[in-house]
Amino acid sequence: MTTGPARVRFAPSPTGDLHVGGARTALFNWIVARQTGGKFILRIEDTDQNRLVGESIDGILESIRWLGLDWDEGPLVEGPHAPYFQSQRLDLYTRYVHQLVDAGHAYPCFCSAERLAEVREQQRARKEPPGYDRHCRNLSKEEVQAKFDAGETAVYRFKMPLDGETSFYDLLRGEISYENRNLQDLVLLKTDGYPTYHMANVVDDHLMEISHIMRADEWIPTAPLHVQMYQAFGWEPPIYAHMPVVLRPDGKGKLSKRDGAVGVLEYQQKGYLPEAVVNYLALLGWAYDDKTEIFTIDELIEKFNVEKVNPSPARYSFEKLEWMNQHYINHVLELDDVAARCVPFLVDAGLVDPVAADTTTGEFAKVRDTIELVKDRLKYLTEAPELVDFFFKDETDDYDAETLVPRKTEPETALAGLKAAREGLADIDFSDEEALEAKLRELAEEIGLKAGQMFMPIRVAVSGRTVSPGLFETLRVLGRDTVLARIDIAIQKLQAHSA
């Protein structure tokens, strides 16, 4: 698709959180930049003062950063085409609009919002396609001057050719063409002096030397306008590749906030790994072959091919993403890595000291030892605290004596098992998991219990719950003192219960 280094851009509009659909577009752009040794440019399209949510910019930058998509030019890092906020480039757009006006490709339009609404209303009543009626397109120089002199404000519209057709090549779909007579004289510059997306994006993409425009599907209908603008300016248009939109899980419309977690940062908070999110997003509409689906970021850079992105819209699946996340935690990341990523969540839960963030500390070692036991059953990092809390607390959470008694057994059975364990484990080497297991199995046999009947009460006694990591490794990590003390408590509980 390209011969040299690509200059691509991701241009979010700061109107809220960056959501996964946008993140996917950003990812594809970033990958293309990296695989061609090009540049990934981040540009903030803050051209709509009404929808602007100032604080959202930080969140968007944080989201992109969290995903690991570093940008070469843009906010904070700047670059040769600064500023990268369109609100700081207003004079440029004004200048270029006037260039179009002078060349006869744009014109001021004095129509009020009311008149436009009225025109649309009438068109609808007559069942005609809605759109601007080009009322001001042929105003004479004198008429225009008179209106400005009278203090009227104007927007500037592009003077779309009335006949002929406009076509462009889309990397995923091939040639796409539109008949000009169906195209509109869209607004380029608004009355508040801000440009519309069309103006800002064409001017900036050209000035910033963007080579490939990879953006969402929804932009296809306005692409011919952009192509006409490039022509009017006498500029070479970039290569286009429109990414299919991400649909709601039920397929009924674009994915939006209403459909659950769609903000990138929500995934961070919910204990997802950026690697898993990236991997899932890459697979949404793209596949390398008929088998592979786990890709490191470097493999994506090596194997991804924009031209193979499936042009049909894809539904978003929370289930598959969840599976992907679990797969990464269970099978892709190394233990130390998972442990380190769990630390913030454990700290938040008040279980470990913040110094555990330093992987050379004993605190971290303890975290690693416990995470090792639950790594293969974690779906989200957020589950870590609830799975390992009993290793860090002095006592287990309170539990009902009943839970010490496995189904279909009597309290006496559980009590006998616990007492046997209490004695039998007293002088066992707790660092030796196999010895622990051998001893417990031996004790079970001695008192005529099945392994499960013996193990469950102990599990509950030491962890306070019926679901826990493997028993013997749990005992090993807990250590003799804690284990014996907790068994004592369990025995008391059971005796009190039966009395």
Q: Which residues are catalytic?
A: 257
Answer for which of 88, 122, 312, 361 binds RNA (CB under 7 A) is 312
Q: Does residue 220 interact with RNA by CB under 7 A?
A: yes
The footprint of RNA on this chain (CB under 7 A) covers a number of residues equal to 91
- Minimum CB distance to RNA, residue 338 (Å): 13
Short-list 84, 70, 81, 78, CA closest to 14: 84
State which of positions 338-397 bind RNA (CB under 7 A). Answer: 376-377, 379
47 is a site residue for RNA (CB under 7 A): yes
398 touches RNA by CB under 7 A: no
Given a contact cutoff of 8 angstroms between Cβ atoms, the answer to whether 211 and 221 are in contact is no
Using the minimum distance from each CB to RNA, give the nearer residue, 160 or 347: 160
Shortest distance, CB of residue 452 to RNA, whole angstroms? 4
Q: Name the token pair of 450.
A: 């099945």
How crowded is the C-beta side of 437, counted as CA atoms within 13 Å? 8
402 contributes a contact to RNA by CB under 7 A: no
134, amino acid identity: R
Of positions 330, 359, 409, 495, contacts RNA by CB under 7 A: 330
65 touches 32 (CB < 8 A): no
Written as one string, the DSSP assignment of 26-83 is: HHHHHHHHHHTT-EEEE-B----TTT--TTHHHHHHHHHHHTT---SBBTTTB-TT--
Region of 74-82, 226-234, 447-455, 483-491 interacting with RNA (CB under 7 A): 447-455
Instruction: Rule CB under 7 A: choose which of 2, 5, 16, 48 binds RNA.
Output: 48
Which residues contact residue 111 at a Cβ distance below 8 angstroms, ignoring those fewer than 6 apart? Answer: 132, 135, 136
Indicate whether 326 belongs to the interface with RNA (CB under 7 A): yes
Candidate list 254, 422, 480, 497; residue touching RNA; CB under 7 A: 254
- For 479, the 3-state DSSP assignment is coil
Strands of the sheet containing 155-158, edge to edge, are 106-109, 155-158, 187-189
The span of 28-36, 267-275, 308-316, 336-344 binding RNA (CB under 7 A) equals 308-316
Q: Is 467 in the site for RNA (CB under 7 A)?
A: yes
Q: Are 192 and 49 in contact (CB under 8 A)?
A: yes
Q: Which of these segments, 64-72, 264-272, 282-290, 363-371, binds RNA (CB under 7 A)?
A: 282-290
Q: Is 295 in the site for RNA (CB under 7 A)?
A: no
| 327 forms part of the interface with RNA (CB under 7 A) | yes
Instruction: For residue 72, report the phi and psi dihedrals to the nearest 5 degrees.
Output: -90, -25
Tell which one of 6, 7, 9, 11 touches RNA (CB under 7 A): 11
Closest CA to 186 of 226, 147, 216: 226
- CB under 7 A: which stretch of 248-256, 342-350, 358-366, 388-396 binds RNA? 248-256
Interface residue with RNA among 68, 260, 452, 479 (CB under 7 A) is 452
Q: In the set 6, 33, 67, 283, which binds RNA (CB under 7 A)?
A: 283
Complex with RNA: residue 5 or 313, whichever CB lies closer: 313
**Residue 257 lies near RNA (rule: CB under 7 A):** no
Based on the shown chain and the rule CB under 7 A, indicate whether residue 50 belongs to the binding site for RNA.
Answer: yes
Q: What is the Cα–Cα distance from 25 to 11, expressed in whole angstroms? A: 10
CA gap 499, 38 in Å, rounded: 77
Residues in region 56-115 near RNA by CB under 7 A: 111-113
How far CA 15 is from CA of 44, 45, 263, 420, 482, in Å, comes to 11, 10, 12, 65, 53
Tell whether residue 480 is a contact of RNA (CB under 7 A).
no
Q: What is the maximal distance between C-alpha atoms in the chain?
A: 109
Binding residue (CB under 7 A) for RNA from 83, 131, 161, 424: 131
DSSP conformational letter for 19: B
Residue 223 Cβ vs RNA, minimum distance, rounded to whole Å: 8
Q: How far is the CB of 358 from RNA (least distance, A)?
A: 29
Residue 218 is given by DSSP the state G
Stretch of 74-82, 133-141, 257-265, 327-335 lying at the interface with RNA (CB under 7 A)? 327-335
Both tokens of residue 229? Answer: 């603008």
Establish whether the linkage from the previous residue to 83 is cis, with ω within 30° of 0: yes
- Applying CB under 7 A, which of residues 197, 272, 345, 390 lies at the interface with RNA? 197
How far apart are the C-alpha atoms of 279 and 286, rounded to whole Å? Answer: 11
The piece of 123-131, 228-236, 295-303, 424-432 that touches RNA (CB under 7 A) is 123-131
